[in-house]
Amino acid sequence: MEEKGEIRDWISDPKSLHRAIISGRRKSLHPAFERIDIRPVVIRDELFLQLVSHDGKKDQTKNLKPEEFDLEEILEDGYANIRIERASENIDIKVTKKGKFRIHRKAHESNQEIDLSHNRNKERRLEISDPIFHHLGISDRDGRLIPRQSDKYHQVDDFLRIIDQIIPELGTDAVSILDLGCGNAYLTFAVHRYLTKKGLTVKVTGVDSRLDSRERNSQISKAAAISDSVSFIASNISDFPVAPTTLVIALHACDTATDDALAYAVRAGAKAILVSPCCHHDLNQQISAPDEPWKILFRHGITKERFADLMTDSLRAEILRLLGYRTDIIEFVSLDHTARNLMIRAVRSESLIKRSDFHNFDEQIERWSITPYLLRDLSSEITARRSKALS
């Protein structure tokens, strides 16, 4: 196929390739890795393509000569998205379930040189010298990191790495982002800046219940001359009107505010959801040991609390899966920088669900005699999906 040959040429030309990302999965197929990152490197004065495959636990790295790169083999594994960042353009490719290619090319002007170094320093998604960090108070006027803001800068960078992985899922149209419970909006501004630099048209809205947060963040938006695409609203998450949204973010929203954000995202038809929960009280107050062996775990308050935390997030992820999202729970940021380090990542896939999946979920709810807040909130959506489940 001519298109497949063109795609291979775009990736295997190390003189014009910045990087390529292969990710997602086509219906009923199960690729071996979550994603494959490809970039050119020079090893002993010879050009190679470096393929780093991620399975969610560890990375596998291969260095191939450009002529050894086998796109056909990779695509047969079932991947659905390809993003190719070249010196003069970005190319987003959607692979349909029938193996057809939907290609979107967007030219850009870039002064960035292609980095061919093999053992380069850790790449930052946004360098500390970027002006947005000065507006946020993370760097000084000379673009140097303010030492006390080191953890915040690492948190932003780790979050942008996760954003980087879902860029192919966001599509090529204008991207709308809603940051629910945005607080001081460090990540709100960073995501806008990063995706804009990637050539995407982005509109971001930050929502927080505090009026002082809205005022502070709005002033920063004006100072950075981005108030036309980054705005802030004072509202509780549960009161904010639902509207179609590409990506919903909620980081460290307390207790059931996280559930409000997840319910909003589902009703808004979000293509992707990134939620890092904060405190968990709802299930901790409901849950009790169902029989004698489990009482060992529940004898101590701290172990019961942690069990309830894990149960809460596992059930949240499962509810999203039952509603048509591909979900996983990942480490958001190193424990060195914050104790709140878990993230629920969900990408809309509309994969068909079996009745047995609902049965297994119901069994867990009954075994522990619990009713998660999110289940109550999305009860009508769950009922509708249950009626369409495969036998």
Alpha carbon 241 to its chain centroid, in Å, reads: 23
Give the domain extent around 160.
131-387
* C-alpha torsion 99→173→25→8, nearest 10: 50
Residue 116 lies in a domain: no
pLDDT of 54-83, one tens digit each? 876 667 888 999 899 998 888 888 998 999
- Please report which helix (H) or strand (E) contains residue 3, including its range: helix 2-12
Q: What is the largest CA-CA distance in the chain?
A: 66
pLDDT band, residue 336 (cuts 50/70/90): very low
Residues 378 and 276 in one domain: yes
Gyration radius (Cα) of the chain, Å: 22
Task: Provide the residue type at 279 as one letter.
Answer: C
Q: Assess whether pLDDT exceeds 90 at residue 379.
A: yes
Domain assignment of residue 125, yes or no: no
C-alpha to C-alpha distance for 218 and 203, rounded to whole angstroms:
14
Does the structure show a pLDDT above 60 at 299? yes
Alpha carbon of 30 to those of 24, 25, 35, 75: distances in Å?
9, 6, 12, 11
Edge-to-edge strands, sheet with 202-208:
230-234, 202-208, 175-180, 247-251, 272-276, 342-348, 325-331
- Give the number of domains in the chain: 2
Q: What's the residue count for the chain?
A: 391
pLDDT of 338 > 50? The answer is no
Domain-located, residue 277: yes
What letter would DSSP give residue 267?
H
Nearest CA to 234 out of 254, 214, 204 is that of 214
Q: What is the pLDDT of residues 11-54, one digit of tens each?
A: 988 888 888 999 888 888 888 888 898 988 888 778 889 898 88
What is the average pLDDT across 139-166? 89
The verdict on 57 and 168 lying in the same domain is: no
Q: Note whether 163 and 88 are same-domain residues.
A: no
Task: State pLDDT tens for residues 207-239.
Answer: 999 999 999 999 999 999 999 999 999 999 989
- Cβ atoms 9, 46 nearer than 8 A: no
Closest CA to 166 of 24, 332, 59: 24
Residues 86 and 195 reside in one and the same domain: no
Assess whether 29 and 148 both reside in one domain: no
With beta carbons less than 8 A apart as the criterion, state whether 206 and 179 touch. Answer: yes
User: Is residue 42 assigned to a domain?
Assistant: yes
CA gap 325, 161 in Å, rounded: 21
Q: What is the pLDDT at residue 318? A: 96
pLDDT at residue 320, as a whole number: 96
Q: What is the pLDDT of residue 109?
A: 60
Q: Is residue 52 part of a domain?
A: yes
Domain co-membership, 86 together with 227: no
Same domain assignment for residues 140 and 266: yes
The token pair at 193 is 């800046």
CATH number at residue 267: 3.40.50.150
Task: Confirm if 331 and 340 have CB atoms less than 8 A apart.
Answer: no
Same domain for 304 and 201 = yes
Whether 274 and 314 map to the same domain: the answer is yes
